[in-house]
């Protein structure tokens, strides 16, 4: 038996103003996308803004459904929009944020496993890592380079592609 460890590298910021202008703008676009969240059941709004290599920003927000779990997370809404409308686009970075009126969110909210797997597929497709910003409104921001940092045992099976 071998005991192994996995560690990740990430950047932590205490406030939005510490980020460069592009990252600040992306976080604010994600915050703005919270307005389109359809979350009447959880009352937990999640939104993302995705920057493509040509500078275009695509936003997404969580979309719930009474027939749980028929809804979809913000990250997958945005990523599937990109896949359908911009199939050859290269994703540079994405910012994810959340809000609820029920309590104060004090730490950045991270992605679920399903969203991480979809993000990993986009990285694989474009052969380029995606920079991910987890933005806590009026709080900390975490910045990660590449989904493998968040999902180190990502599902990959090269034989399925052939």
DSSP the chain: ---------EEEESSGGGS-HHHHHHHHHHHHHGGG-B-TTT--EEEEEEEETTS-EEEEE-B--SSTT--B-HHHHHHHHHHHH-TT--EEEEEEEEE-SSS---SPPPPPHHHHHHHHHHHHHHTS--EEEEE-TTS-EEEEESGGGT-TT----GGGG-
- Is 3 contained in some domain? no
Residue 70 forms part of a structural domain: yes
**How would residue 129 be classed by pLDDT, with cut points 50, 70 and 90?**
very high
Q: Which of 11, 18, 21, 75 is catalytic?
A: 75
In a domain, 43, yes or no: yes
Give the tens place of pLDDT for each residue, 89-106. Answer: 999 999 999 999 999 999
Number of domains in the chain: 1
pLDDT digits (tens, 9 = 90+) for 2-52: 999 999 999 999 999 999 999 999 999 999 999 999 999 999 999 999 999
Position 115 in a domain = yes
75: annotated active-site residue: yes
Asked, for residue 6, whether it belongs to a domain, the answer is no
For 34, the domain range is 11-156
Q: How far does the chain reach from its first CA to its final CA, in angstroms?
A: 34
- The pLDDT value recorded for residue 135 is 98
Task: Report if residue 162 sits inside a domain.
Answer: no
**What pLDDT is stored for residue 162 in this prediction?**
65
Determine what percent of the chain is predicted with pLDDT higher than 90: 91
Could you tell me if residue 141 is inside a domain?
yes
> For position 159, what pLDDT does the model report?
74
Is the per-residue pLDDT at 154 higher than 90? no
pTM of the model: 0.94
Q: For residue 96, give the CATH number of its domain.
A: 3.40.140.10
Asked if residue 4 belongs to a domain, the reply is: no
């Amino acid at each position: 038996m071998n005991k192994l460890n996995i560690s990740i590298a990430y950047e932590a910021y205490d406030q939005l103003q510490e980020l460069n202008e592009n990252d600040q703008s992306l976080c604010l676009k994600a915050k703005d996308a919270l307005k389109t969240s359809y979350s009447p059941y959880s009352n937990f709004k999640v939104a993302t803004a995705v920057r493509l290599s040509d500078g275009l920003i695509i936003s997404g927000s969580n979309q719930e459904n009474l027939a749980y779990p028929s809804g979809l997370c913000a990250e997958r809404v945005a990523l599937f929009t990109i896949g359908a409308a911009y199939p050859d686009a290269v994703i540079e970075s994405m910012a994810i944020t959340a809000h609820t009126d029920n309590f104060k969110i004090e730490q950045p909210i991270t992605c679920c496993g399903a969203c991480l797997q979809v993000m990993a597929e986009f990285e694989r497709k474009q052969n380029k890592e995606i920079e991910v910003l987890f933005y806590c409104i009026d709080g900390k921001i975490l910045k990660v380079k590449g989904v493998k940092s968040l999902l180190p045992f990502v599902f990959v099976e090269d034989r399925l592609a052939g």
